[in-house]
C-alpha cells in the first residue's frame, strides 16, 4: 500500500529526532538544514543513510544535491518508495 505524504513526513520526523538528537523536533516540508542546530555535513549523510534504510530505497547523489528542503525529500520518497 502506498504511503501518503503525511505518513512519509511522520517517518522522516522520527529519523530526524534520532539523528539530530532532538526528541521534540517538529519538521515541515519547507524545513532546511539551517533550521536544525546539529545538521551538518556528517549528520546529513547519517540522516540520508537512515532514511534510505527506513524506506528501503537508494537516493542517487544527483537527487540529493537537487533537494532544497524536507518536502523535496518526502516527494522523492513518495515517487520512488516501495509501493
Q: Which domains does the chain have, with CATH numbers?
A: 5-80 (1.10.1200.10)
Helix axes 41-55, 70-80, angle to 10 degrees: 30
Across residues 11-34, what is the average pLDDT?
97
Mean pLDDT, rounded, for 19-35: 96
Mean pLDDT, residues 53-71: 96
Res 81: pLDDT: 82
11-50: b (≥16 Cβ within 10 Å) or e: bbbebbeebbeeeebebeeebeeeebeebeeebeeebbeb
Amino acid at each position: 500500500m502506498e504511503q501518503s505524504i503525511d505518513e512519509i513526513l511522520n517517518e522522516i520526523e522520527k529519523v530526524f529526532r534520532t539523528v539530530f538528537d532532538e526528541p521534540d523536533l517538529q519538521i515541515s516540508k519547507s524545513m532546511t538544514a539551517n533550521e536544525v542546530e546539529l545538521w551538518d555535513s556528517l549528520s546529513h549523510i547519517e540522516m540520508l543513510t537512515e532514511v534510505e534504510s527506513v524506506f528501503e530505497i537508494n537516493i542517487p547523489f544527483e537527487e540529493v544535491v537537487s533537494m532544497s528542503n524536507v518536502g523535496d525529500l518526502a516527494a522523492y520518497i513518495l515517487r520512488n518508495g516501495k509501493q
